[in-house]
Structure 1
Amino acid sequence: MSVNPTSSNDGGQASVVPRDVRLLHLIFATQGIQNYQDHVPLQLMDFAHRYTTGVLKDALTYNDHSKSTSSGISSSSNSTVNTDDIRLAIAARTNYQFKPTPPKELLLELAQERNSKPLPPVIPKWGLNLPPEKYCLTGKDWDSIDDEDKDNVNSKKQRFN
């Protein structure tokens, strides 16, 4: 769905579009993205707000911790966050929130290793070729009481014979 940032209302007046939404529309246009749903800019703004809020809260925590350890006094009021605290908070979040893509060479190496092993031969038989029963969702992965009773009876018969 193509979105026009300056769509008009029924009265013919141009609707008021927030500055951040206009910026997102411009970013989409510069990247060549023409078709997207109406809620995409709202989702991006929500993500940016939650991420920024979380980073600033973490930075405030790091700042409070550094002030309490350096001065020996816990000063939670009137604390200012500096850029080092923000960089530390961003680095801490980046380590567990965003996973970098593995290098292309590693993926090629793993693909080569995986593809070097031949597939098992296909056994010609009538019907569908299903994997072994233990890998199928329809496979029985439990023992019923009747099966246990039959096994016990068979083992007792074998002992007497």
Structure 2
Amino acid sequence: MAEGEEDLPRDAKIVKSLLNSMGVEEYEPSVIHQFLELWYRYVVDVLTDAQVYSEHAGKQTIDCDDVKLAIQSKVNFSFSQPPPREVLLELARNRNKVPLPKAIPGPGIPLPPEQDTLISTNYQFAIPKKQPAQALEETEDDEASVEPNLSQEDRCATPNISESIVYSH
């Protein structure tokens, strides 16, 4: 045994031997603790699910079938298989039937039209409509009571941002 290995717990020794059997010889000591934490968490999750399945079946104890079902459930929800190669090839053929939009000629990198890119703006500025003089005076009186530190010029020059931007998407 290596130096300091005799005081390791049994599970840590197993993780260490698994790493060695896979050809991993150099690693941080915390890797063993991280594997153990992952291992324990997985086992607790599987046994918790197995207990739920056992209770649902009306059994007093967890049996092998409950554990198998819990493991299969974890595998089904944790790992997904990619679609078959034929399906991917068919999707690629269908996608490639549609030609790309013509690039805009010009200096720099040629880009497709702006409506076909993700870098185009997705908003428009809406210019506030002119208010009648009487309504403007009433609004200024209301604003003066709310913001007494702003002059009349500042109040007119500062538009209400929430009214100025209209999102198109």
Name the TM-score, length of structure 2 as normaliser: 0.57
Partner residue of 1:143 out of 105, 124, 133: 124
C-alpha deviation, 1:41, in angstroms: 2.3
Answer yes or no: is 1:90 the counterpart of 2:63. Answer: no
Partner residue of 1:63 out of 54, 57, 68: 54
Structure 1: tracts of 5 or more residues without a match: 9-13, 69-78, 150-161
For these two proteins, the number of residue pairs brought into alignment is 127
After superposition, where does 1:1-161 map in structure 2 within 5 Å? 6-7=2-3, 16-67=7-58, 79-103=60-84, 105-106=85-86, 109=89, 113=93, 120=100, 124-134=105-115, 135-137=117-119, 139-146=120-127
Are the counterparts in 2 of residues 7 and 15 from structure 1 also a CA contact under 8 Å? yes
> Who wins on radius of gyration, i.e. which is larger?
2
- Closer, same or farther: CA 141–88 of 1 in aligned 2, 3 Å: same
The equivalent residue for 1:74 is none
C-alpha deviation, 1:31, in angstroms: 1.4
Alignment partners' CA distance in 1, 2:113 and 2:3: 59
**How high is the sequence identity, in percent, across the aligned residues?**
27
Structure 2: tracts of 5 or more residues without a match: 130-169
C-alpha deviation, 1:33, in angstroms: 2.2
CA RMSD of aligned residues (A): 3.3
Alignment partners' CA distance in 1, 2:55 and 2:26: 45
Alignment partners' CA distance in 1, 2:91 and 2:19: 34
C-alpha deviation, 1:56, in angstroms: 0.8
